[in-house]
Amino acid sequence: MREIIFDTETTGFDPKNGDRMVEIGCVEMINRVETGNSYHAYFNPQRSMPAEAEAVHGLSEAFLADKPLFAECAQEFLDFVQDSPMVAHNATFDFNFINAELAMAGHRAIDLDRMVDTIVLAKAKHPGAKLSLDALCSRYGIDRSHRTKHGALLDAELLAQVYVELRGGRQIGLELVAQTTEIVSETKVLTRKDRPFRQPRPHAATDEELSAHAEFLKSVDTPLWGA
C-alpha cells in the first residue's frame, strides 16, 4: 500500500484570514517502508511573513521572494501524491492549507477521506500523554537532534518513523527475511537428477515380528478393537 507522509509550513494558522503555505515536504512509503522518493518545495506566499511564524520555521520574506508560486507547482505536487492516503500530524490544519492553495490555483480539493491524522492515532494509543511530534519522537527513541527549527521535509521524515510505530512498529521478521534470502542464495538446490539413487529399504514386518505381535494382542484385556 502506498502512503504519503507530509508536512507544511505556513505564514499563520488560517488560510481564510489570508495565511498562505510556504513549504511542503512529502515522503513516499510503500507497505510502511520509506522508498526514498520525496517531494519538497518552497513557495512565494505573495505576502509578508509574520515574525512569530518565521521564528518557528526560519523562512523569511527575503528567502521566499524568488521561490515559485504554489500554482506553478500544483500539478507537480498532485502528480507525486496521486490518489494515495495522506498522513500528517494535526492533518486537518495541513489539508485546509493545501486545499485552499489548490482552489486558488484552479484545482479540485483533495478528498478528506484520504486524510490520516497521526494525532488521532496517538491519542488512541497513548491517552493522556503529550502528543507533539517532539514528544512522540522521544517516546519511540527517534533521533531529532538535527531538528533546530520546523522544516516540512525533515518533519515529514520524522513523522514517517513515528507513523510506523503508531501502526505497530517494525516487524522483527523483516530483518530475518533478508538474512534468510542470503543463506538460500548461497545454498545449492539439488534437482531430482542430481540426487544419488538409493535402493528402497525393506519395511515389511518379519514372520517373527508378526508372531510376537499376535501373542502380545492375546495378553490385552478388553481391547478396544474387539468391541
The pLDDT value recorded for residue 190 is: 45
Structural domain includes residue 10: yes
Instruction: Calculate the CA 109 to chain-centre distance.
Output: 24
Neighbours of 223 (CB within 10 A): 10
- pLDDT value at residue 195: 60
Q: How far apart are CA 7 and CA 39, in angstroms?
A: 11
Q: Which residues contact 112 (CB under 8 A, 6 or more apart)?
A: 95
In a domain, 213, yes or no: no
Residue 103 lies in a domain: yes
So what's the pLDDT on residue 194? 57
Domain interval for residue 23 = 2-173
Q: Count up the domains in the chain and report the number.
A: 1
Assigned domain for 30 exists: yes
Low-confidence ranges of the chain (pLDDT < 50): 172-191
The answer to whether residue 89 is catalytic is no
Looking up residue 156, the CATH number of its domain turns out to be: 3.30.420.10
Q: Does the predicted TM-score (pTM) go above 0.85?
A: no
Which of the residues 40, 107, 150, 203 is marked catalytic?
A: 150
User: What is the pLDDT at residue 175?
Assistant: 44
**Does residue 140 contact residue 99 with C-beta atoms inside 8 Å?**
no
